[in-house]
Amino acid sequence: MQDNQKPTSPSTAEFQREVAELMIECLNLEVTADQILLDAPLYGEGLGLDSIDVLEVALVVSKRYGLQLRADSADNQHIFSSLHSLSDYIAAQRTR
Amino acid sequence: MTSNTTSSHATWAQTPERSNRLMMRVMTWISLRLGRRVARSVLHLIAVYFLLFAPSSRRASSEYLRRALGRPARWRDLYRHFFTFAATIHDRVYLVNRRFDLFDFEVHGEDTLRHLLAKGNGLFLMGAHLGSFEVIRALGRKDTDLRVAMLMHEENAQKINAMLAAINPEAVQDIIGLGHIDSMLQVRERLDSGGAVGMLGDRTPGNDTLYPVQILGATAHLPSGPLRMAALLQRPVVFMTGLYLGGNRYAIHFDALADFTHVARAQRAAAVQAALLRYAALLDQYCRKAPYNWFNFFDFWQSAPTTTLPKS
């Protein structure tokens, strides 16, 4: 937890929890935010999302935080690999 | 719809695609080297070959035709089924090469399609392994305001792209590989620019939630993924098929299937289920209308684990 550079934004842990809750709400997942492991894969094993679930998360996240997700971004695979990387990406790129 | 299940590695995921690819490779070579008339005669040999040496495909064909024709299938029916399959795959080669002059297309329901396209928000064209999809892409290439990108599983997309590249390099860009977040965003970009995205909704190569539906009087299981995606992206879905009528004739049909444009999240699941039922009804209708155009040469009605079927 070393992210102290943005005093107005919530702490990393709080923000990861917020993203987890957003995912749970948008997909009607039957887990709690605590049960989503930070580094477990979102796809397949791990949280068990399929590609359409992940798309849904992408759409909701981009709307909520004002992100521009691009189809030709080579980073997409990494961004959506875990809650950890997704939260980091949003925190860095959010416009609202 | 009383139960659903998740498919994983159903037997057809390996076998039919392999025979499709082999058939396609053989036919591409023959068609380009020897011309359509010679190639057409080879199709009969291929149909005979499948009839004699592909017992599992033959059993599947026989079982399907019994349902579609409402009587036991005879050898000539099976032969005609395999021949129709070979003919449509063969014609793909010419269609990709823009030889539209070789064919006689009748088009039904084009107004439905035009009306939705004119709104500029794009749409999904949902087909099946029923008739020829390439015929519809040909319609798109003939006039410039209909651009169809085909969405298919990554592995198949790569192989088909390699094949198309050999026939016509321009055809390659029309395929979007399914399976990554990137491909989903590509789909959205395509739709946002007013384009059509095509997909086949009767099989799933990976894990997908399946729903039981009635087709030709028996329970079959359809993947919900394609319609879930359309619902998520809030677009209209138009059913389409290019039925082979024999000779050089095709009948292209467009039917409104669903419109998710104003479907909110809370209604989404119900709307997807309703659309799946409509899709099943359209498959049923066209299987009866053009029985030899069904190209699922595996036991479509038994492809889900039987333990998931509702007990009655």
Mean pLDDT by 10 residues, chain A (96 residues): 49 91 88 87 76 83 85 76 91 89
**What pLDDT score was predicted for residue B307?**
38
What values do phi and psi take at B109, rounded to 5?
80, 20
Strands B196-200, B175-178: pairing kind: unpaired
The pLDDT score that the predictor gives to residue B293 is 97
Evaluate whether residue B5 is within a structural domain: no
* Per-residue pLDDT, B13: 44
Q: Are A52 and B228 within 8 A, CB to CB?
A: yes
Domains of chain A, residue spans: 12-93
Boundaries of domain holding B44 = 11-305
Structural domains in chain B (count): 1
Whether residue B261 is predicted with pLDDT greater than 90 in this model: the reply is: yes
Q: Under an 8 A CB cutoff, do A76 and B232 touch?
A: no
**Percent of chain B surpassing pLDDT 90:** 51
Condensed to tens digits (0 to 9), the pLDDT of residues B262-298 reads: 998 889 999 999 999 999 999 999 999 999 999 999 9
Within a domain: residue B30? yes
Report the distance separating Cα A25 and Cα B71, nearest Å. 51
Is B310 a member of any domain?
no
Measured N-to-C along each axis, helices B75-96 and B15-34 cross at an angle, to the nearest 10 degrees, of 60
- Residue of B181, B182, B268 to mutate for A, most A C-beta atoms under 10 A: B181
Residue B4 domain-assigned (yes or no)? no
Comparison of pLDDT for B204 and B117, the residue scoring more: B117
B181 touches chain A (CB under 8 A): yes
Cβ–Cβ contact B190 with A under 8 A:
no
Residue B152, beta-bridge partner list: B177
* Range from A72-86, B20-34, B240-254 carrying the lowest mean pLDDT: B20-34
Task: Report the pLDDT averaged over residues B41-61.
Answer: 90
The CATH classification number of A12-93 equals 1.10.1200.10
Of the two residues B142 and A50, the one the predictor is more confident about is A50
Q: What is the ipTM of this complex?
A: 0.72
Residue with tokens 């198309």: B164
Is B3 domain-assigned?
no
